Structure 1
Amino acid sequence: MSIKIRLILSYIGMILIPIILIFLFNGMLSGLVFDDKLDYYEKANPLKLTRAMGYKSGKILRQLNIDYLNNKEKLKDINYLKTFDKELDEIFLGIVVKENGKVKYVSDIVNEERILTKLSDFGENTDIMYEIVVKERFVVAAQRDFIIDDSNMSIYIIIDLLEEDAVINKAKIFTISVTILAVLIVAFGLTFSMYRGIIKPIEKLKNGTSHIKKGNLDYHIEDHRNDEMGNLIRDFEDMRLRLRRARDMQIKYEENRKNLISNISHDLKTPIMSIKGYIEGIKDGVAKSPEKMDKYINTIYDKANHMENLINELFLFSKLDLNKVEFDFQSIDIVKYLKYSIEDLSFDMEKIGGNIIFNQENEEIRVIVDLQRLQRVILNIIQNSIKYKSDKNLVIQINIEEYEAFVQIEIKDNGKGISKEDLPYIFDRFYRADKSRNTSIGGSGLGLAISKQIIKAHGGDIWAESELNKGTSIFFFIRKS
């Protein structure tokens, strides 16, 4: 759920939930606070309480009038009059009965001398509400006078205002308390929700940024939320992973750079020292005969060519690595192209007693390539096969597999093969299975690395399969046109 929707629901909840809780708490707790039968809402509402008083007192007075008409003696029965007490006490009313000016019965709620002495006599204030003790609390709600067998009887219904006010105040306090409790519960719930939804994720992000600030890019923040904060944390995690990959690439780049400098130094130092030695021999007069002089000069020339080739390949590899080589892509028939290439290579293979075979029956397969760069790839692979041939006659086979969107080319030899330990690294620059880096077999150590860069630039891939003493297969694929 998004934070926007959550905030909207929170605002709605701040209004509705307290109202619902107030009604629930009133229903559950009012019975514990108010232990009589009068409804809590009547006690909390003075108007309802006043109406209840009027209704009860009127009902009792009507019943007394009926009794007076039907059975006058019943009004002299104290036990009968007591039956009204419980009903009247619920709404803070009491009853007083006087006969010939003397009190015959009085309810407990109004049983005070100061009340009884101030009640009107028989025939005074009949049916009129009047105050007895103005400054304190009592009011006569009704007075009925009856004449029964030469006896003057007065029945008074009296209101205890102080008790009424106390209960009303109690109800008000209860209502306020319930309201505060409901608001506190809602506030706590919404605060907890906001803490979990916003504050806690922000704390996670704060911890994450603190770790990144200290250079710890391995600190992981996990969050499965589907809101804005969850998206923010996932974006943060993506940024952290990108930074870590960039850092790792930078570390690897620095290591490669150091290795590159070391390899260049080694591969340049060897021919330079050789050239220097031959020149010193010429200066010292070691090469006295013309034949020996020619040998020294030819050797110096070969070493210089080797250095030139190494520098040229290094320059090409650097440009490929930086994507600064321009490619001239065109659609060609790869079958026809490979046939011509094999014809050109066959002469060189015959000189070393080798053979090159093209296993392809298809008439035409069109691909998108840069001819010059593709030729460089094929030559690099075949030159590697020649350099690492075994004692057997070298046989190189070229196979093509056609797929829906690309063409796979295999160049397979029967040479020495490559160990499983060395196989994953043969496309790294300056990598040689020969750890001594013996330059007698020639080459720069960049051929397969350059081939990989060229094939990648064609949108393809290159890999190798090999077995020691059996041979090596180099596979690469290129896109069809």
Structure 2
Amino acid sequence: MRRRIFLERTLTVLAALVALLLVSGVVIHLVNSGYRQRMADAMDARPAQVQSILDSWEPASDTWPELDEQLWELDYGLYVMLAGREVYSSLEPFQRDQARHAAQELSWPEDIAISFQADGIPMVGLQSGPYTILALLRPGGPGFVHRPQSEATLLALAASGVTGIAVIVLLSLLFTDRQVKQFLRPLNALTEAARRVEQGDYSQPVGTQGQDGFAEVCAAFDHMQQHLLAEREKNAAYQRARTDLVAGISHDLRTPLTSVKGYLKGLQDGVARTPERQAQYLDIAYRKACAMEKLLERLFYFSKMETGELPLHLERTDLGELVRRFVQESQEELGPKGVVLTLKGAPAPHPLRADTEQLYRVLGNLTDNAMRYAKAEHLELTLTVWRERAYERLRFADNGKGVPEEQLPHLFELFWRGDSARGSRNEGSGLGLYIVKHIIEAHGGTVSARNDGGLVFEIALPAEEE
């Protein structure tokens, strides 16, 4: 756009300069032609005739019109001064000053008419007693040609300048009008597009073409519309997922809550009469209550995470030692359920800065995910820790059936569940892996998932040098 404006302004100036040169050339040509013609007139027989008339004339105040009439036939005008005062003139106003100046400044022989030129103007003069008589060739062309040459030059330059200014103004108006129309076209399109966006219509592009700066603005506006449309669709999907989450959580809470109420009601009504039966009822109710507590804890954690009220408390720790401690504690809890946890490759130091509580939550969520979805008869979890360049890496693998390949890209999405049907005993909330991804990325790391003899999660966290 700047280049185009620069080119148009440059063309305007050049056009104005060309016009100024042309006008100046024409005016100077006219001036020179007028002076050449005046010189030619000065060389003809008329000056001698004017001299003869003036030499034979007897000055008197009442005879000037008669003398003027005779000079008029020869295309000369008359100017008479008496003692420095004008007493008669038939000259044009612009010639009177020339005649007055010549009468006052030149020396005149007594009673002898002489021909001369003053500033290129042919004149015949006579000093007769107190009278100074001048005859000037009447103008036969433009008036300014018969002025003094210096004055004629100034007038020509002034005329050229005025013409150049007029051309500049005219061309500027034309180019400005053209530029305004070019500028308003995309601006009007942007204004109309903004109105559509205000009304919620993101589907129509601005649709302007060109290589100027407005094309980039329109392209950016179209990109913004596409982004807003994608965000609206994403938010709509997010709201649907939240609605599904609320319905699912309500179902997940209702099931154990119903069980707790049922077993407690059985105890209250005396259905469990033996101590062994009562202990069984209490154990089931307790485990159901623990399941509800875990679900509510995850929802509370997600709420704090979404509102930014869950800061990380980073401290120096060793990833291998942290994983080893988690494996030992989890094996004691999950061993009776037939789950086997194995740690590999941890002896070397694996220093990093991390929030150990949050990394424990990551490992817990991955373990819970494997227990829900691995569908292995005897679940085995293998955790491998190693150093790779500037990252400490953790591999979390199970021996289950994995997940369909088309579902792998969606595992870490918020509220996403592979099986949309509720009621399965393994149905989750769609929060666990999303929380895993959030925590790992908050530590500056990455997490990915793939199938390899089961579902495998690989985590990379920035290492800290010893």
Q: Secondary structure at the match of 1:415?
A: coil
| Distance change in 2, residues 1:289/1:261 (3 Å) | same
CA apart distance, 1:418 = 0.6
- Post-superposition offset of 1:408: 2.5
User: 42, 46, 49: which is aligned to 2:29?
Assistant: 42
2:436 counterpart letter in structure 1: S
| SS of residue paired to 1:274 | helix
Tell me, yes or no, if the aligned pair for 1:223 and 1:234 is still in contact at 8 Å.
no
Q: Does 1:369 align with 2:322?
A: no
How has the CA–CA distance of structure 1 residues 325 and 302 changed in structure 2, closer, same or farther, with 3 Å as cutoff?
A: same
Give the gaps of 5 or more residues in structure 1: 31-39, 65-94, 96-118, 145-157
Paired residue for 2:408, among 407, 413, 423?
423
Deviations 1:162-211 (A, max 9, x none): 6656999xx99x97888755642332123323543x54454344223322
Match of 1:400 among 373, 385, 391: 385
Post-superposition offset of 1:265: 1.6
**Matched length:** 389
Shift of 1:159: 7.5
Amino acid of the structure 2 residue aligned with 1:476: I
From the superposition, tell whether residues 472 and 289 of structure 1 become closer, same or farther in structure 2 (CA, over 3 Å). same
Q: What residue is the counterpart of 1:191 in the other structure?
A: 177
Deviations 1:227-284 (A, max 9, x none): 7x78877886787677556645543442332222122222122223334444555666
Partner of 1:380: 365
Aligned to 2:40: 56
Identify the residue that residue 265 of structure 1 maps to in structure 2. 250
SS at match of 2:328: helix
**In the aligned structure 2, how far is the partner of 1:321 from the partner of 1:199?**
44
Distance 1:213 1:8, change over 3 A: same
Query: Which secondary structure state, in structure 2, belongs to the residue aligned with residue 319 of structure 1?
Result: helix
Comparing 183-192 with 457-466, which one deviates more in the overlay? 183-192
Contact 2:302–2:435 under 8 Å retained in 1: yes
Deviation at 1:52, TM superposition (A): 1.5
Paired position in structure 2 for 1:152: none
Tell me the amino acid that sits aligned with residue 471 of structure 1: G
Match of 1:307 in 2: 292
| Counterparts in 2 of 1:163 and 1:57: CA distance versus 1, 3 Å | closer
- Equivalent-residue separation in structure 1 for 2:323 and 2:217 (angstroms): 54
C-alpha displacement of 1:301: 2.8
Aligned to 1:20: 18
Contact 1:137–1:161 (CA<8 Å) still a contact in 2?
no
Distance 2:374 2:235 in 1: 37
Post-superposition offset of 1:414: 1.6
- Asked if residue 479 in structure 1 is aligned to residue 462 in structure 2, the reply is yes
Paired residue secondary structure (1:437) = coil
User: Deviations 1:312-354 (Å, cap 9, x if unpaired)?
Assistant: 1111121122221132211112223323333344445654555
| Secondary structure in 2 matching 1:421 | helix
Checking the alignment, whether the CA contact within 8 Å between 1:18 and 1:186 is kept in structure 2 is no
Q: Which amino acid aligns with 1:42?
A: H
- 1:360 and 2:358 correspond: no
Distance in 2 between residues matched to 1:127 and 1:277, nearest whole Å = 153
Distance 1:259 1:402 in 2: 41
Q: Which residue, 458, 461, 466 being the options, matches 2:446?
A: 461
TM norm structure 2? 0.65
1:22-421 counterparts in 2 under 5 A? 22-24=20-22, 41-43=28-30, 45=31, 48-58=32-42, 60-61=43-44, 124=53, 138-139=75-76, 161=139, 180=166, 183-196=169-182, 198-221=183-206, 247-248=232-233, 250-278=235-263, 287=272, 291-347=276-332, 350-353=335-338, 355-360=340-345, 363-391=348-376, 393-421=378-406
Structure 1 stretch displaced more, 203-212 or 12-21: 12-21
**CA separation of 1:261 and 1:409: change in aligned 2, threshold 3 A:** same
- Deviation of 1:374 after TM superposition, in Å, equals 0.7
Say if 1:268 and 1:307, in contact at 8 Å, map to a contact too: yes
Unaligned runs of 5+ in 2: 58-66, 79-112, 116-135, 147-154
Query: Partners in 1 of 2:53 and 2:296 — Cα distance?
Result: 133
Q: Which amino acid aligns with 2:16?
A: P
Match of 1:108 in 2: none
Contact 1:328 1:370 in 2 (8 A): yes
CA-CA distance at 1:465 after TM superposition: 0.6
**Cα distance change, pair 281–357 in 1 and its aligned pair in 2 (3 A):** closer
In 1: Cα distance, 2:427 partner to 2:240 partner: 25
Whether the aligned pair in 2 keeps the contact of 1:335 and 1:364 (CA below 8 Å) is yes
Q: Which amino acid aligns with 2:256?
A: P
Name the aligned partner's letter for residue 29 of structure 2. Answer: E
Relative to structure 2, which stretch is displaced further, 211-220 or 275-284?
Answer: 275-284
Change in CA separation of 1:270 and 1:132 when aligned onto 2, cut-off 3 Å? farther
Give the partner amino acid of 2:454: G
Maintained 8 Å contact 1:321/1:453: no
Q: Secondary structure at the match of 2:316?
A: strand
Cα distance change, pair 134–17 in 1 and its aligned pair in 2 (3 A):
farther
**Aligned amino acid, residue 41 of structure 2:** S
Kindly report the root-mean-square deviation, in angstroms, between the aligned alpha carbons of the 2 structures.
4.9
Query: Structure 1 residues 123 and 259 mapped into 2: Cα distance closer, same or farther (>3 Å)?
Result: same
Q: How far has the Cα of 1:402 moved from its partner?
A: 2.7
CA 1:161–1:389 in 2, change beyond 3 Å: closer, same or farther?
closer
| Equivalent AA in structure 2 for residue 207 of structure 1 | E
CA contact (8 A) 1:465 1:472 kept: yes
CA contact 1:137–1:162 (8 Å) conserved in 2:
no
**8 Å Cα contact 2:379-2:399 kept in structure 1:** yes
Read off the aligned partner of 1:425 and give its amino acid letter: H
